[in-house]
Structure 1
Amino acid sequence: MEIDGEHLRIMRRGRIASISLQSLASPPSIRKGMLGTALTITSDVHNDVTLKGASHLDARAFSKELKEAWVRFNLLALEKEAARLERVLAAVRALEGPTSYPAACKVSPLLDDARALDTSLLSKLQSEAIGPEATARIAVVRKFAGDPRTARANGISAFVTAELDRWKDFFDTIESKPLTPEQRLSIVVDEDATLVLAGAGSGKTSVITAKAAYLVKAGIRRPEEILLLAFAKNAAAEMSERVEARSGVPIVARTFHAIAYDIIGIVEGSKPALADHATDDLAFTNLIKQILKDLVRSQSAVSKAIIQWFAHFLVEPKTEWDFNTKHEFYTHMESQDLRTLQGEKVKSYEELQIANWLYENGVEYEYEPVYEHKIPETGRRDYQPDFRLTESGIYIEHFGVRRQKMSNGSERLVTAPFVDRDKYLAGMVWKRQVHAEHETILIETYSYERQEGRLLTGLAEKLAPHVTLKPRPLDTIYDRIVELKQVDEFSKLLGTFLRKFKSGGYSLQDCEAKSVRMKQGQRARAFLDVFAPVFEEYQRRLDGRIDFEDMILRAAHYAETGRYVSPFRHILVDEFQDISQSRARLVKALKAQHPDVRVFAVGDDWQSIFRFAGSDIHLMRHFGREFGGSFDGEAGLHRTVDLGRTFRSVDQIAFAARTFVLRNPAQIQKRIVPAGTATEPAIRIVTVSRNEDERKLSDVLSALATGPNPEAKPATVLLLGRYRFLEPDMQGLRRCFSQLRITFKTIHASKGLEADHVILLNADSGRTGFPSEIVDDLLLSLVSPEEEAYQNAEERRVMYVAMTRARHTMTILASNARPSAFVTELKNDPAYGIVAAPGAEQEAHVCGECGGRLLGVTGQDGRIWYRCEHVQHCANLLPACPSCATALPRRADGTMETRCTCGASYPTCPECEDGWLVERSGTYGRFLGCVRYPTCVGKAKISAAERPVARRPRRRTRN
């Protein structure tokens, strides 16, 4: 062995090996033996090397020399990196009590330095060589390199605690009331991406304005380095004024479009002209309507696609086979508003197809006319075929049957799951016999024909011998569609789709492929056949001008490619739940320009209700993935702060609204601290019978006007409607209730507002009901990154917004016959703790025919009748109890009696679920017949022991 500079040379049997002094794990060891001294070298990278039989004096001297060389080598290596080590060590120690928030983007470079130093030097230094003091200093850096997350977390905790104390006076005085602990925390937290969950009435504007002022006052940023973004001009102006008024800091808040327009102007030298409709949603919708109209009149191929859509795909093409119960099927059909081009409502999608085909081809018809021949007494209602062609007198019956292959190869006809097959097939036979006997022509169509894709072609073939088709001009049909007001809502759907299509950077091929994956079928294809030419024409009419989607995307492109150099280091975004794909792209592009840019977003995913304007809730739900930083191999790093406290709603409203919106498990969980405790029921549901809307609204306003008002000023009342056409006569209401300050808003327009009392109008079911069947159209999922799987997801958030406008009370006016699914949920689930207005609720009765509800109505004869809510589909109609004339007798379990709450009882009908028997006269004398006759022909003989009189139980005396 010999020392050769920084290496130890070893010669063994003529071979020479070299070991670096850096790799020595410890000084050499010597061991005296009978045959001489053994000297052993221990290395990190080689096996131990032992020299045996050396002279003890030589071995000891060599060992000493080697140790001195080894120590010199380690100390020299440490000295070469001393400055770097000191810098890293100081930064690591500063993390124990940081003077600024240790965001991932700030600590990551330090971690990279520490690990590089550890790899190149620190891990190779030997503590015995460098001494305990240097070893202790190195250990601090090595510990940080090995567990940086704990070090950063401890640093964050230390900073936040100190900063909250340091800025206490600022937080106490920046707003009219001291900020809450949650608001203060959200301001001092300064992660790469910070999301502040600001529920309704939680003071989000206070947070974002205080954050901007804090950044400047704390010396973290200069005003020009802060980009404060709002979605609307008035919100941006209010925010700018509020920041300067509260803190004296001049920071100008801007809309996304304003900053995008500025970026384009800086890069291009001038700003392109803005399309007239860009700032006017109504003008935008009207432009889409005009494009549709012009395409119908100018391009025959496109006009056919447009008419096809309205005639056959405007509503969701579901049939009986898509449902398990009559009630589910009927509810869906009613929500779809199956109105034909001729104007009447039909009972199924397949009937709608047939009716519209007849209308398109100029075949005049009547829907469900009474059959021209009187049918002898059968116990049935008057026979009403589905269609009668008025010129030829031909009848059309559409039968809801499909073909089923049997195991032996034969076929049989089957009905939907909830339909009695034998009874239905018997009805088909009876109808054929009626037409045969009276020599009227019957054309039959079947559900299996639609299933096989030949319903309408088959109908054309069957009618050919009897009818001459006279197709109506396409523009005439379109005028009819306009007359039926079907174009308005479709134009809004097209407009929403167009904006999301552009802002998300989609292609038609993307949409077609997604429609196939989602199995949206012919309806999606029909929609895209209309959308494609509409989009092409829309782009052509821009004529060099830009809309807001173009504006944002062009600005994002300039930022991404570096043609625009951003001065911003902090990007503060208000109402973040409304952000779109294109806006998110712009924010990401600005963030990517500098490594230390932070995104601070304030929003409430529970209030994301502007999908029609392009907002994409998934950007907020996946905030970390979209905007977060990275640290120690962890991506999507961000911080979420939940403000929790509401300064608006009392507990009953705040908790009910929270429970309601969280029924969708995709919504982000947030805690709620209400503004106060209600002493009276805060949410009421008032049921409204037909034509009672004005009276019931007046009753509610009267109660509010005469009720206690703890404040000296007049109580504020906000009337909310899902649509603008629901606005009542406001002048009349203000005149009648001058002691109240009454306003009307659509729910969307009410966002950000509040009132002492809120009244929600027309919470009914239907296509333009609430939930709206239009807004949540599945077609919009073709231009969304992810489909919202939860039914009525956005409409549920709209309802949350409506509920949380109220400080003290909320009253919901809902149809007695067709209440909204939301109303039914709120009323039936005890978790909401909601009461009905006194005297407004009748006992709920289930319809034995379809599973719907039996509702009490007053007939033309002044008597009370109980009619199924699905009156268009279900013929169930029952009189009130003959004894009390108000309540509905119901079947008693385990007996053959039907009893009323008044005490009367009747024999139960043997044929139907709901009927009972009353005395009737017939050809053969007196008998007991069902009260539902002629719908039900249940009967029984009158026995001597049983008179057909209501029997009352003997009244019990109280002890």
Structure 2
Amino acid sequence: MIRLQQRPLFGFFLNPFGTTARAIELKGDHLLVTGRSMPAALSLADIGEAPALRKGVLGTTLSLQVSANRDVILRGTDHADACAFADTVQTAWVSFNTGAFDREAQRFDRLHTAVSGLARPGRYPAACRLAPVLNDARSLDATLLSKLKAEAIGTDRAERVTLVRKFVADPRAARATAISVFVAAELDRWEQFFDTVESKPLTAEQRLSVVVDEDATLVLAGAGSGKTSVITAKAAYLVKAGIRKPDEILLLAFAKNAAAEMSERVKARSGEPIVARTFHALAYDIIGAVEGSKPALADHATDDAAFSALIKQILKDLVHTMSAVSRAIIDWFSHFLVEPKTEWDFKTKHEFYTHMEQQDLRTLQGEKVKSYEELQIANWLYENGVAYEYEPVYEPKLPETGRRDYQPDFRLTESGVYIEHFGVRRQKMADGTEKLTTAPFVNRDDYLASMAWKREVHATHESTMIETYSYERQEGRLLTGLAEKIAPHAKLSPRPVDTIYDRVIEMKQVDTFSQLLGTFLRKFKSGGYSLEHCESASDKMKLGKRGRAFLAVFGPVFDEYQKRLAGRIDFEDMILRAAHYVETGRYLSPFRHILVDEFQDISQSRAKLVKALKGQHPDVRIFAVGDDWQSIFRFAGSDIHLMRKFGAEFGGTFDGEAGIHSTVDLGRTFRSVDQIAFAARTFVLRNPAQIQKQIVPAGIATEPAIKIVTTAKHEGVKALSDVLAALSSKLDPAGETSSVLLLARYRYLEPDLRDLRRRFARLTLSFKTIHASKGLEADHVVLLNADSGRVGFPSQIVDDPLLALVSPDEEAFQNAEERRVMYVAMTRARRTLTILASNARPSAFVSELLKDPAYGVSQPSGSDQDVHECGECGGRLLRVQGQDGRTWYRCAHSEQCGNFLPACSGCGVGLPRRVEGTLQSKCSCGKVHPTCPDCANGWLVERTGRHSTFLGCVRFPTCLGKAQLARKPSGRGVTGKRRR
């Protein structure tokens, strides 16, 4: 113990109020300070530098730095005493600092080695490797390093401490620099390996993906970019570089054949037997290891056709055995099979008609109706055994009105009573009265006049007309109201439920519904959802009665499905049970690197298993290779959001930042020429949720690579033959052959391959559904039947909004998955892609490809004719050949619109169109006609009536537009003075 204090007299003059220290005493590792406003004790750890002395007239002043802006000062001391005290304190201070450093020397040396090693890292500085270093460094910095003084510990130690503290201050920058240094050196070190590991040297992007070894690494592998080469090289590299032993590497594939191919390639490249497994094989092995034996697998687990057949059988059995459930099932097919949209959900006739055609509104009786509300009425009549005709010709012959034959919506066969359904809703006015309104694209005055005319017809001819209205459905009483109105005219005789269901089967409506149920069931189990969750989600998403109707069927189907497993397990059970064993530690994983192929197809349950394996050890890495542009297996449970949120789901944590991962874009395709590669990229990226990727094509096209051929009804076979003949004719006569892959959205569209192969022997022809074609390629691809419709392409079944109930995030973009299916189809082609589509109902995808010049698509055959818009609905007018041999123009929405125009009387081919700002319609041949005053499309031609000649619309009797015929004295021609 040593003490230094002010000399009494000097101290009074220098410190009369006691604001500085009066005495300081060194006691062990502390300085005891005496003074009115001074702290009682200071640790030597608080001293920033050695004591400083300053000799003055009134004695020596000693200063101790406690912090950057605060010193302890003792004035008026004896100089000799001050020097002795300062020396003693400095010795104690140095000893304290060096002692503290020495006590943590081993810990510090480990940290210093790890941090200094970042200058030339021997392993990839992954977050999981550096996070423990950072945590330890921060802890040591807080307790020791930040308190050590460079002067006390010496220059060498101070420099080492500074290096560690610099890492603590900015660890992200240090890690980023280390990664950059490592990658550059590693790419150079393994150059020969990358040149020879595959049959062709790896690209720069492929090499990068191999050496990057983050906690989670996502390799974006576009179509034909060589993803299998990347996985093979990665596994071989991990072994050859001594990073992992073969049994520490887990290779996961989705299909047996892919797993077998991967195992074979990895063994050939690495010389080590690293066996690739499917998720199901892995899960089965985990269950077997924990339980001692493997449970029996359900027969349908490995057979999609058997799974679909089981769902259909369950539906049928429920109809026959459970009355409450059978009613729910029939209600679904009668009223909720399609999305219940009405005219009020659309702004234009064209949009409404297009939607109706996509829905294929077919009644239980078999006819196609024009609106969802008509469908409800027709199915109610059928269910209740009320015989009816749809749109019959009104029986009393009406006098000549110029109109088409009157066809009421329904006629009850036995009573002859008619039903007219009017598309009007009620609107409350400010004065309390009600006003009838029509859909946005319907002329209200004309529609109300039509209603009045129909009432007048029935009154005149004393026929009975029952009226129903759109506002009744809006108010939830359309069918109850119909029952009341029809009661006096027809006796209800409800058909047995099983009879109705047999009719549903006959119409093949069960097939599409069972597909929806199967997809929903797999996602339901995979994601661990409950019916309560789905019901709540349905309410939030405002799916209304349709959502509730679906769940009323799904609940019993799911319960029955679970019962029929009878102790066996399906794939969802298998993977979830395995994940549970891993999560709870009953299974100890040996794996430190998990390599997953086709990652875009991963499901919630598979992701759960992967995360459980990763969570068992702090240094496990996930290496995922996939292409979100090719995620097309939602029906099998895949969830694209797991790839889009890859970092959040699988990434590591470093410096307080979660979701640490790395993404490598392979950025090229070895398959398609530029026109196809770029068009496919543009097409799929219309959905902004898809991950951006760069594409480098395989070559430059020297002629149009994408062609669209539109065909008339029943001419698809001839069109395909013409396309194949054209491809065959371009082959070198010396025996050259070419591969042609015929693709379709559905298997039933497969053409007669035997006949085609016989006729086009030099073409290697094959057929696949688009889903089955993944991984395949051909010189030429022909896509069949790219038409619109409920079972068209895009399919209106696959993207049913109900599937959002079992998806973490709904895909808001319309036809999101079907757009990816189209991308897969496009990218199977190396040299050319030909799309066959209906000229009347082309797919929305075909229309998009044709409209946007960015796609560079060659116009369809016969497209030299102009594309004309239907003036009645905004659709397209198609050129058709009439039975009389004349050319006509018919609206593509033939069942809804019915607009029909003759070709120009001058050339017999063209279509006169209105000249803006004039009263004339002009054909491309130059012939001019006066326009019709009543309709948007027609023009006037000379007609002869009972009493005179006049100008009438070419659309007569649909349009009654007229004009008077006047002749000029000069005889130069005919002019029309219009009248209505």
Same fold, judged at TM 0.5 (above)? yes
Going from structure 1 to structure 2, the CA distance change for 1:169 and 1:380 (only over 3 Å counts) comes to same
SS in 1 for 2:368: coil
Contact 1:578 1:616 in 2 (8 A): yes
User: In structure 2, what is the equivalent of residue 921 of structure 1?
Assistant: 944
Give the alignment of 1:424-439 within 5 angstroms. 424-439=447-462
User: In structure 1, what is the equivalent of residue 565 of structure 2?
Assistant: 542
> More deviation in 211-220 or 557-566?
211-220
Contact 2:778 2:830 in 1 (8 A): yes
Structure 2 residue 385 is the aligned partner of structure 1 residue 362: yes
Q: CA deviation at 1:343?
A: 0.2
Q: Which amino acid aligns with 1:814?
A: A
User: In structure 1, what is the equivalent of residue 314 of structure 2?
Assistant: 291
Q: Which amino acid aligns with 1:154?
A: T
Structure 2 residue 923 is the aligned partner of structure 1 residue 900: yes
User: In structure 2, what is the equivalent of residue 61 of structure 1?
Assistant: 84
Q: Which amino acid aligns with 2:358?
A: S
Q: CA deviation at 1:13?
A: 6.3
> More deviation in 241-250 or 14-23?
14-23
SS in 2 for 1:704: helix
Contact 2:420 2:465 in 1 (8 A): yes
Of 391, 402, 420 in structure 2, the residue corresponding to residue 397 of structure 1 is 420
- Aligned positions, number: 952
Going from structure 1 to structure 2, the CA distance change for 1:525 and 1:302 (only over 3 Å counts) comes to same
Q: Which amino acid aligns with 2:703?
A: E
User: In structure 2, what is the equivalent of residue 196 of structure 1?
Assistant: 219
User: In structure 1, what is the equivalent of residue 894 of structure 2?
Assistant: 871
Alignment partners' CA distance in 2, 1:545 and 1:53: 93
Alignment partners' CA distance in 2, 1:668 and 1:208: 21
SS in 1 for 2:401: coil
Alignment partners' CA distance in 2, 1:60 and 1:186: 65
Structure 2 residue 153 is the aligned partner of structure 1 residue 140: no
Of 787, 798, 803 in structure 2, the residue corresponding to residue 780 of structure 1 is 803
Q: CA deviation at 1:57?
A: 2.1
Contact 1:686 1:840 in 2 (8 A): no
Q: CA deviation at 1:12?
A: 3.4
Of 31, 45, 49 in structure 1, the residue corresponding to residue 54 of structure 2 is 31
Alignment partners' CA distance in 2, 1:273 and 1:349: 46
User: In structure 1, what is the equivalent of residue 45 of structure 2?
Assistant: 22
Alignment partners' CA distance in 1, 2:524 and 2:732: 50
Give the alignment of 1:20-419 within 5 angstroms. 20-44=43-67, 47-419=70-442
Return the TM-score normalized by structure 1: 0.98
Contact 1:709 1:715 in 2 (8 A): no
User: In structure 2, what is the equivalent of residue 648 of structure 1?
Assistant: 671
User: In structure 2, what is the equivalent of residue 452 of structure 1?
Assistant: 475
Alignment partners' CA distance in 1, 2:861 and 2:345: 39
User: In structure 2, what is the equivalent of residue 818 of structure 1?
Assistant: 841
Going from structure 1 to structure 2, the CA distance change for 1:948 and 1:447 (only over 3 Å counts) comes to farther
Structure 2 residue 603 is the aligned partner of structure 1 residue 580: yes
Structure 2 residue 959 is the aligned partner of structure 1 residue 931: no
Q: CA deviation at 1:73?
A: 1.5
Q: CA deviation at 1:122?
A: 0.9
Return the TM-score normalized by structure 2: 0.96
Q: Which amino acid aligns with 1:747?
A: I
Alignment partners' CA distance in 1, 2:105 and 2:738: 73
Q: Once the two structures are superposed, what CA deviation does each residue of 1:753-793 show, in whole Å capped at 9, x if it has no partner?
A: 00000000000000000000000000000001100000000
Q: CA deviation at 1:131?
A: 2.4
User: In structure 2, what is the equivalent of residue 729 of structure 1?
Assistant: 752
Q: CA deviation at 1:862?
A: 1.3
User: In structure 2, what is the equivalent of residue 488 of structure 1?
Assistant: 511
Q: Once the two structures are superposed, what CA deviation does each residue of 1:691-724 show, in whole Å capped at 9, x if it has no partner?
A: 1011100000000001145996510000000000
User: In structure 2, what is the equivalent of residue 739 of structure 1?
Assistant: 762
**Can you give the 5+ residue segments of structure 2 that lack an aligned partner in the other structure?**
1-23, 976-980
Contact 1:23 1:45 in 2 (8 A): no
Q: CA deviation at 1:830?
A: 0.5
Give the alignment of 1:545-584 within 5 angstroms. 545-584=568-607
Contact 1:231 1:575 in 2 (8 A): yes
Of 781, 790, 795 in structure 2, the residue corresponding to residue 767 of structure 1 is 790
User: In structure 1, what is the equivalent of residue 880 of structure 2?
Assistant: 857
Alignment partners' CA distance in 2, 1:324 and 1:458: 28
Q: Which amino acid aligns with 1:420?
A: N
Of 821, 830, 843 in structure 2, the residue corresponding to residue 807 of structure 1 is 830
User: In structure 1, what is the equivalent of residue 12 of structure 2?
Assistant: none
Q: CA deviation at 1:924?
A: 2.2
Alignment partners' CA distance in 1, 2:909 and 2:649: 61
Q: Once the two structures are superposed, what CA deviation does each residue of 1:502-534 show, in whole Å capped at 9, x if it has no partner?
A: 000000001000001111110010000000100
Alignment partners' CA distance in 1, 2:609 and 2:378: 49
Contact 1:918 1:948 in 2 (8 A): no
Contact 1:771 1:821 in 2 (8 A): yes
Alignment partners' CA distance in 2, 1:212 and 1:951: 86
Q: Which amino acid aligns with 2:797?
A: I
SS in 2 for 1:249: coil
Alignment partners' CA distance in 2, 1:624 and 1:390: 65
Q: Once the two structures are superposed, what CA deviation does each residue of 1:889-947 show, in whole Å capped at 9, x if it has no partner?
A: 10111111111001111111111111000000112210000000011000111111399
SS in 1 for 2:199: coil
Q: CA deviation at 1:597?
A: 0.4
SS in 1 for 2:119: coil
Contact 2:235 2:270 in 1 (8 A): no
> More deviation in 916-925 or 36-45?
36-45
Contact 1:906 1:950 in 2 (8 A): no
Contact 2:708 2:861 in 1 (8 A): no
Contact 1:340 1:355 in 2 (8 A): yes
Contact 1:904 1:950 in 2 (8 A): no
Give the alignment of 1:488-887 within 5 angstroms. 488-708=511-731, 713-887=736-910
Alignment partners' CA distance in 1, 2:410 and 2:918: 43
Q: Once the two structures are superposed, what CA deviation does each residue of 1:135-159 show, in whole Å capped at 9, x if it has no partner?
A: 1111101001111111111111111
Q: CA deviation at 1:864?
A: 1.0
**Can you give the 5+ residue segments of structure 1 that lack an aligned partner in the other structure?**
953-959
Q: Which amino acid aligns with 2:377?
A: I
Alignment partners' CA distance in 1, 2:420 and 2:953: 29
Q: CA deviation at 1:863?
A: 1.0
Q: CA deviation at 1:374?
A: 1.3
Alignment partners' CA distance in 1, 2:734 and 2:573: 50
Q: CA deviation at 1:9?
A: 1.6
Contact 1:928 1:948 in 2 (8 A): no
SS in 1 for 2:251: strand
Contact 1:905 1:950 in 2 (8 A): no
